[in-house]
Amino acid sequence: MIIDLQLVQSNEVGGSYHIEMEGLKRSLALLEERGITLDSIVTDRHPQIQKFLKETRIKHYYDVWHIEKGLSKKLVLISKNKDCDILKKWLRSIKNHMYWTAASLTSGPERVAKWMSILNHIRNVHTHEDPAFPQFLHAPQTSRDKSKRLKAGTEAFCILEKALTNKRILKDVEKMSPHHQTLLLEAFYSVILRFAPKNVVFPFLGMVCRLYLAAMHFNENAGHPQATSSTDELLYSVNFPKSKKGEWTVKPVKVDPTYHYVDEQMDLIFEKVFEDPVPYEAEVQKIPIPDDLSAQFEKPDKMEVIVSYVSRFNQGLV
């Protein structure tokens, strides 16, 4: 559920790099003002946010998808090397292993030990030297494709080991969120695009209103149940996302969205706002509206611009 959102314009904070940090500060300040304290927070690995949350008492976790996405891109590039082609057979397993590691409700060091155990697994070794995770939990298994096993000391294994055990990855694995992720937030971004397409420019206040509408729509429909067929079978759709490069994904089909929030807003407008608009106008006027981004530039005279206009196709005629 979306309980707060902040719209920050880049000219308020000295550049787009600082927008996320400012939005987080504003939301945390609002929650604190309302008496809400946070035990933990899950974000991507934004450096400014990492530094800021270190100075607070809020425990900071990393979203697993962002870590896995970055690592998978590196491994795909590595697997294109002639001597590392065998790694293609392990890409999905490594991805699954990362999510399994994150889902383990364990301490940071144990989570790192579980993550590094993949290097033994790909060599068909199922006991480990690290006492935090001495052996795999599954029963002994016979691989259907013995050719995909790697041997220690080979170029493919050494390159993979370097990629999976570099300092940044190990630090990120230690802080992977074992419970909540930002998946629903990514879904909310998709809803925002329906109310505020990127190819349309909206004034600041208009954008705020559209974000509120998107939040109301999302909150009403985010928990909708999965659709069923006439025989009460759960419905699924098979998709081929571009990012998966030919791999398929399965998604549950949800029931059609509802729009009860629209009726509630219409009732509010006709029954209260029209009757006494003053308090609502006062609340709107409290919203600080920054200058347009174009305000920092000197506006030229329109006629001078038109006169100086030269088309690429008529330069020789001017």
Domain that holds residue 118: 64-174
105 in a structural domain? yes
Structural domain count, the chain: 1
158, part of any domain? yes
In a domain, 183, yes or no: no
The answer to whether 236 and 252 have CB atoms below 8 angstroms apart is: yes
Determine, yes or no, domain membership for 265: no
Query: For the whole model, what pTM was predicted?
Result: 0.82
Give yes or no for residue 85 having a pLDDT over 70.
yes
The confidence score (pLDDT) of residue 318 equals 46
Q: What tens digit of pLDDT does each residue of 32-77 get?
A: 999 998 999 999 989 899 999 988 889 999 999 999 999 999 999 9
Does residue 59 belong to any structural domain of this protein? no
Residues constituting the chain: 318
Q: What separation, in Å, do the N-terminal and C-terminal C-alpha atoms of the chain show?
A: 59
Q: Is the pLDDT of residue 194 over 90?
A: yes
Which residue shows structure tokens 């802080």? Answer: 175
- Amino acid letter, residue 234: L
In a domain, 184, yes or no: no
The model's pLDDT over 216-231, given as tens digits with 9 standing for 90+, comes to 999 999 988 999 999 9
- pLDDT band at residue 204 under the 50/70/90 scheme: very high
Does the residue 231 lie in any domain?
no
Asked if residue 179 is part of any domain, the answer here is: no
pLDDT of 263: 96
pLDDT at 260: 96
